[in-house]
Structure 1
Amino acid sequence: MISMISEMVSVPADRLTLSGDFVVPDASRATVLFVHGVHTSRHNPATQSVAAELHRAGFGTLAMDLFSETEGRRPEAMGERRVDIDMLGRRLIAAVDWLKAQPDTRTLPVILFAAGAEAAAALTAAAALPDEVSAVVSWAGQPELADAVLERIRVPVLFVEGGEDPEDLRSSRRTAERITGPHAVREVPGASHRLQEPGALDRAAAVIEEWFTEVRRPAP
């Protein structure tokens, strides 16, 4: 059985306090920061399922909402075109800074993991923190909303899409081509856009773990 620290935490960001669920297995390989706020919360079953798989593989996680409890999921945030990506990016940067200040995670690589519009916030934070963020995973995301920063991203980026959603696969490939750092587009066979099919989340977690092992392997 894996021994781990598990607690609910409060992260100061943008003059607010953001809630998160922090789990750190013994001898963690990295910390995966799951980003929520626009359409889902950190209690999303999909996030919890993927996080559980990553814990078993030796990854720590911080699942957090980028809106505070007093803000809630504000109506003006529900349309992706009106989401303030820069604001979400600032809050995500604060969360990375918080991880780098914690005794159990300060030396660990940080991977940003986000879907939907939050994927654009993750890319924005990665462009601003090339030395603190080790990689980004966009999972059924909308990375095109980070249009202004794509060419500035230097960290490895993985786009994960369902194999049964060719339109999103094409969109992710177009976006990936604009990133000058290492990048890859991986599909989960037999899965739709939100990876809701039985077993799709487990397959997605395996794809992510395999990719991260590849990008962390020293060059020959």
Structure 2
Amino acid sequence: MLEGNLSLPLDPQGLVLFAHGSGSSRNSPRNRYVAERLNEAKLATLLIDLLTTDEERIDQVTAELRFNIGLLADRLVQATDWLSSFGSTSRLRLGYFGASTGAGAALISAAERPEHAAAVVSRGGRPDLAAEALPRVRAPTLLIVGGADTQVIALNRSALAALRSEKELTIVPGATHLFEEPGTLDEAADHAIRWFLRHLARPA
């Protein structure tokens, strides 16, 4: 049993499933803030814990499960299947928002469920962790990286070259890995909203 928070604004223009990063959860202040911004833009969101309560207790000690990208991707696939069969969300186009290691899991899930995945956004993510799945991703993918996060910029450029779908790399000036600098998380959210509305919103 996985726990999540589903937010459905009136007349939603699409649905975004969040894949949080290593050591984080659905209660992450940054992901919750981005989700609120998406809700204001009439995008539904599902913030979900990809580990069970017992697994999180184990991971707090060993830190082994947070880097098990295959396991996290499998949980995202299961969440995707649930959303596609749940009455309130089944007709909404689906996008993934992945942060840190969650970006790798989101891209693998998008490759595994191409019929459902309509867009992917990575914030400060590790898309390189999706490795062999990258060429199979069909969903338009936006990679957002902080300008001061030099090592992750290089990893994102490498992943960008491996993607065969519509793709874009956006660098937020002055932002470090967690986008803690004033205004940088807002800028990342603006880019995510633009991408999701472009690819998820259906014509009237």
Work out whether the TM-score is over 0.5. Answer: yes
Aligned to 1:44: 28
Q: Percent identity?
A: 36
Work out whether 1:123 is the aligned partner of 2:123: no
Which ranges of structure 2 fall in alignment gaps of 5 or more residues? none
CA distance in 2, matches of 1:98, 1:77: 27
What whole-Å deviation, never above 9, does each CA across 1:140-159 have from its counterpart, x for those lacking one? 11111111211111111111
Alignment counterpart, residue 133 of structure 1, candidates 92, 113, 117: 117
User: Which consecutive unaligned segments of at least 5 residues does structure 1 have?
Assistant: 1-16
Indicate the residue corresponding to 1:193 in structure 2: 177
Relative contact order higher in (CA < 8 Å, ≥ 6 apart): 2
TM-score, normalization: structure 1?
Answer: 0.84
Q: TM-score, normalised by structure 2?
A: 0.91
CA distance in 1, matches of 2:89, 2:28: 24
Give the letter for the 2:40 counterpart.
R
Contact between 1:38 and 1:78, CA under 8 Å: does it hold in 2? no
Amino acid at match of 2:196: F
Shift of 1:217: 8.1
Q: Kindly report structure 1 stretches of 4+ aligned residues shifted beyond 6 Å.
A: none
Aligned-CA RMSD value = 1.9
Structure in which a larger fraction of residues adopt strand? 1
1:57 aligns with 2:74: no
Counting matched residue pairs gives 200
Q: 1:205 aligns with which of 189, 192, 199?
A: 189
Q: How far apart, CA to CA, are the structure 1 residues paired with 2:6 and 2:65?
A: 29
- 1:37 to 1:183, Cα distance in 2 relative to 1, 3 A: closer
**Which of 133, 151, 154 matches 1:149?**
133
**1:162-177 matched pairs, under 5 angstroms:** 162-177=146-161
The answer to whether residue 76 in structure 2 is matched with residue 92 in structure 1 is yes
CA distance in 2, matches of 1:96, 1:65: 13
